[in-house]
Amino acid sequence: MINTGISHLQTSDQEQLRIADKRLAAAKTPAEKIKQKEILADLLEQNGLHDESRILWNELVQTHQDNLYQAMCLRKMTQSFLNQRDHESAAAKAELALKMIRQTSITSQEEKTEYFQILNQSCFAFYFCLQPDKVEACVKDLRKLLSSVNDVAQQIDFYFSVSLYFLMKYRWYQLPEEAVSHSQFYMHLAKQSDDPTTIAMAVTGCGFVHLWREEITESRKFFTEAIEILGEKNYGFLMICYTYMGIGYRMQNNVSMTELWSKMTIEKAEKTGNKVYLAISNANMSWVYATRKNWLYAEDYARKSFDFLMKASVLYYLSIFPLLDALLQKNNTNEAGKYVFFLLHPKAKKLPLLLTEKIKTFTSEWANDHTTELNELLHAIIDEAKTSGYY
Amino acid sequence: MNILITILHENRAIAETLKWSIEFAAEKNTICEIAADEETVRTETNLLLADLVSFNSLYQQEHQPGCLVLLLTTNIIDDLQLAEALYAGIDAIADISEGPGIALAKIKNLLENKPDETQQLLLKVIQSIRGKDKKPIPYTDYGLTRKEKDILKLLSEANPVKQIAHLTNTSYETVRTHVKNIYKKIGVASSSEAVIKAIKMDLT
């Protein structure tokens, strides 16, 4: 089955897959077939053949009646969707995995460990699907199970899930002290592992916490550390660090450094086809052009990035403020109203109170079609955004 | 199963930004579309979001879908307007002058079949009308049939048309026909007037 679609892989990987495939074909007993199928499914997943891997896990799920085993297969399929960045399908599968594992008694160590892993994975899927209630429910259950888990890697996963919970609960704004101490403990634990990506992830997590507490200089130390750990090995992760370095400089009104980091991110994002970080960096570039009063470019970059971010990221405000300024230059307050209204979305990143109040005042006038003061109110929003560092 | 949310709003800019708001963070099976006018609201719609003007014009025509309806407001509407809208089949009301938050929460509740405070509001309106009209007037039945009296009684008990259809095991359209006949017989032009008349007739 795997002779097609593997030609892009390295010879050794191709060979490994062929061997696994042959072993599956040669397996005689049902137990042996299951074992070989599991090995092949994992190998396919590791080599980026997600669809093929899920086909095998789906076959395995259907041939078993055991809830624990079925839950494990569903977890593998969830992971496969996550690896493919199909978060919605991952969340749907995670729901099924949770339902299945909850049909067991969750008393044996095996069941508890499986449940723990499913909960961690579910947190990740629900986080990216912006489902805070579900993330919170998972973290609540994870906390109950933590004492029964001894494996350090799984404990690290737990702290990662709790980090996501904090970010979501506070809507990426003014995270509490508790989040700082939690992220430090997460980093401490991760540093006990040998995996640079795990360590970089935890260090980046600390950077996030400080960034969204508006402790920009502190956050920069962590992002720099993560970049050093990764070297040039993991483009996906590097892009995250580069992007948030850019956002930090933008919050500090440092035009040249924002431009530098944004351009570096764009270069990597274009190479890897990562649309989210490309859009965020384009939003940063629109800010760069807006601060230089190059309105034509500012509007163009802002619109392009907004069209993508409005569907994909809670950080779409990064495109909106330069766009609002460009629209203000053209006295187009009616169109600006659409973007201002969208800034009040309850699931997007929270903005400072004073800025939110000004946004609400504008929105109320705009929604009621009271046009006389819109220009002035929009001006007030932009001024407040500049003062607070969210422009 | 897919969920189709349709937005019918006289202000295109509000319709667009609501569409973004719903799509952002909506689940995969949710489809959101903007209807250009009353006639383009599809019958498959599961939830209709409309402003008062658009909803009234939809209701007056014969295009109203038998789906959940969320009324979008920007300012306070008076009790009679509210009663009117509620009887016409609105399931919830959301003020959008402070952004999409309230509307999104109401959409979630409606799709999850959670009770909305709108019905309680309707009861309050009726109670306030009852309070103002304590004097009973001499009973006249205006030549209403048994079925029509039953429907008028249910109307006066704060049941929207959809609910009446369910309670009387009758189709939505048939109930609407009965309601129109009732209006004609008792000489009223709106559901709120009909409710006041029913209260005066003391149909209990």
Chain B residue with minimum CA distance to A312:
B24
Model confidence pLDDT, tens digit, residues A295-308: 999 999 999 999 99
Model confidence pLDDT, tens digit, residues B110-139: 888 776 776 666 666 666 666 655 555 556
Confidence band, pLDDT 50/70/90 cuts, at residue A16:
confident
* Nearest-neighbour CA in chain A from B102: distance (Å): 9
Mean pLDDT (10-residue bins), chain B, 204 residues? 92 95 88 89 90 81 73 77 72 90 92 74 66 58 85 81 83 82 81 74 67
Assign 3-class secondary structure to chain A.
Answer: CCCCCCCCCCHHHHHHHHHHHHHHHHCCCHHHHHHHHHHHHHHHHHCCCHHHHHHHHHHHHHCCCCHHHHHHHHHHHHHHHHHCCCHHHHHHHHHHHHHHHCCCCCCCHHHHHHHHHHHHHHHHHHHHCCCHHHHHHHHHHHHHHHHHCCCHHHHHHHHHHHHHHHHHHCCCCCCCHHHHHHHHHHHHHHCCCCCHHHHHHHHHHHHHHHHCCCCHHHHHHHHHHHHHHHCCCCHHHHHHHHHHHHHHHHHCCCHHHHHHHHHHHHHHHHHHCCHHHHHHHHHHHHHHHHHCCCHHHHHHHHHHHHHHHHHHCCCCHHHHHHHHHHHHHCCCHHHHHHHHHHCCCCCCCCCCHHHHHHHHHHHHHHHCCCCCCHHHHHHHHHHHHHHHCCC
Are A342 and B100 within 8 A, CB to CB? Answer: yes
Whether A363 and chain B come into contact, CB under 8 Å, resolves to yes
- Chain A positions touching B25 (Cβ under 8 A) are 129-130, 345, 347
Are A368 and B75 within 8 A, CB to CB? Answer: yes
Whether A110 and chain B come into contact, CB under 8 Å, resolves to no
* Nearest-neighbour CA in chain B from A86: distance (Å): 11
Whether A251 and chain B come into contact, CB under 8 Å, resolves to no
- Chain A positions touching B100 (Cβ under 8 A) are 341-342, 344-346
Q: Where are the domains of chain A?
A: 276-391
Model confidence pLDDT, tens digit, residues A215-243: 999 999 999 999 999 887 778 888 999 99
Whether A350 and chain B come into contact, CB under 8 Å, resolves to no
pTM of the complete model: 0.82
Report how many Cβ contacts below 8 Å link chain A to chain B.
69
pLDDT of B117: 72
pLDDT of A5: 66
Whether B23 and chain A come into contact, CB under 8 Å, resolves to yes
Work out the average pLDDT over A52-80. 94
Model confidence pLDDT, tens digit, residues A243-275: 999 999 999 999 999 999 999 999 988 888 889
